[in-house]
Amino acid sequence: MAYLRTLPPTVPNHPRQTLAKLAAILGLCGIGAALPLLTSEGQVSSMRPVAPSLAQLATPPELRLPVSLANGTDIEPPRGQSGYSQLTIANGNDVDAVAKLVDAASGQTLRVVYVQAHKTVVLENLGAGTRLLKFALGTDWDAQQQQFRRLRTVLAFSEPLEFVVQRDDTSEYWKTYEVTLHPVLHGQAQTEPIPEDEF
């Protein structure tokens, strides 16, 4: 069985209504000067636009891509004694990282390196000593403030890294480490959040 629906007849707009709608639309768009408007009594009125020109309309905020340094960039010049130790840093996170290697005895910063998301950096020529490893995670690097602008998290490895040299009658053996800045299954190293002023 078919159904037939009857629609009500359309009523053409009154000229005054059409002019009023047009003036309202143009006024909200901020186009043109004051427009004449006929009232229901037939008197001429005027309608001021929201903005007298398009130049005065609000402009959208400037869009830009987040800043990311090249993988392995030294944020600060390397310091401290050199040697043959190595530290491999893997960042499996979806955000970039800055890793900082600090001498535990003096508190001197030895290396500060940029590690992009899902990238690995190898720090070479490290001397012997006890080191603290801190790192910051985030996006959009601010070179002047030396920190990430967004999604910033600051952590440190709970245990220091002992870069020691072992010697026998003929050779020297330098300690190397491999660390990940992301959680891994059966991982032994623990990290903990630290205040930003301690980074």
Domains, the chain, ordered by start: 15-56 (no CATH), 74-198 (2.60.40)
Q: How confident is the model at residue 4 (pLDDT cuts 50, 70, 90)?
A: very low
**Contact between 161 and 127 (Cβ < 8 Å):** no
Mean pLDDT of all residues belonging to the chain: 80
The set of residues, in sequence order, having a beta carbon less than 8 Å from that of 22 and lying 6+ positions away, is: 35
pLDDT for 63: 77
- Where is pLDDT greater, at 71 or 59? 71
pLDDT for 1: 45
Q: Which residues pair with 107 in a beta bridge?
A: none
DSSP state of 42: S
pLDDT for 24: 55
SS3 183: coil
pLDDT for 123: 97
pLDDT for 5: 47
**Contact between 70 and 114 (Cβ < 8 Å):** yes
Q: How confident is the model at residue 189 (pLDDT cuts 50, 70, 90)?
A: confident
